[in-house]
Amino acid sequence: MNDVDRLRRLAFNLAAADAHPPTGDWVETSLDPKTLALVRLGAVVAMGGGAVASYGALTDDALAAGATVGEVVDVLFGALPIVGTARVVAAAPALALALGHDTDDIPGAERSEQ
């Protein structure tokens, strides 16, 4: 199946006829595992939500696929101009926890008192 046919299946929601999530050759990606893991992490940031466990699993996948901690953090900066500051700021603590850090441990980080 070529890329146009794959797009056509998505455009006509033919994925709904498949299992959820869709399976089969047509959903296989040519992205390498590291890139795919980083894209999925960025998608969770863009969706504006995800439990810490979701960030943890996606971060673990990215690191296991060869991503560096810097590349994982760069996902936030890459998403920033598209999804906005509020979503990135909301995602940052969950991502910090997924990387084994608490935001209280970040030098220079001060919480505003309201």
- Return the structure tokens found at 91: 């995602």
Distance CA 17, CA 98 (A): 35
Q: What is the pLDDT of residue 41?
A: 95
* 61 neighbors 28 (Cβ within 8 angstroms): no
Backbone angles phi, psi at 40, to 5 degrees: -65, -40
Q: What is the pLDDT of residue 112?
A: 46
pLDDT, tens digit, 9 for 90 and up, residues 72-102: 999 999 999 999 999 999 999 889 999 988 7
Domain range annotation of the chain: 1-30, 31-114
pLDDT, tens digit, 9 for 90 and up, residues 27-78: 678 889 999 999 999 999 999 877 777 899 999 999 999 999 999 999 999 9
pLDDT band for 114, please (50, 70, 90 cuts): very low
* 24 neighbors 18 (Cβ within 8 angstroms): yes
Q: Which spans in 29-68 are helix H?
A: 33-47, 52-64
Q: What is the pLDDT of residue 108?
A: 54
Distance CA 66, CA 35 (A): 9
Q: Measured on CA atoms in the order 77, 83, 85, 89, is the torsion positive or negative? A: negative
Q: What is the pLDDT of residue 113?
A: 43
